[in-house]
Amino acid sequence: MRAVIQRVSHASVVVNAETVGAIQAGLLILVGIEDADTDEDVNWLSARITGLRIFNDAGDVMNLSIKDTGGNILLVSQFTLHASTKKGNRPSYIRASKPPVAIPLYEKMIARLELHLGKKIQTGVFGADMKVELLNDGPVTIIIDSKNKE
């Protein structure tokens, strides 16, 4: 499971001209799921994300987590995070899970993030053509892959 985590001042997702998810200060998380991912990946990644100390404290040092700040999360599924660009100019998405595998793990990720954060999170619509807008704060962008834990 791969995630791109961005600290944002605000972010939103629009599907068919309708805003389906929006947050103010917090994290926009793009998540890609592959067939090798399991509940263990979901649990590890959600705990890692909510524990990341990437928000500034009173001394202007990145020392606070999303839990510490009371910030919000917007989670968006993005199969292109598993693109292979080794051959040719057209990326291959063979590693990205198909909906029967990915949707249950995506739903578990939502539930785990909500559990760790202690409140509801916002989401995009799995598999939809989404328009994502954000204002990256910092900029701070972190990439985490559950297959690279060590």
Catalytic residue among 38, 80, 85, 141: 80
Residue 80 appears among annotated catalytic residues? yes
Q: Could you tell me which residues come within 8 angstroms of residue 85 by beta carbon, excluding any fewer than 6 positions away?
A: 91
Residue 7 · residue 136 · CB < 8 Å: yes
| Catalytic site positions | 80
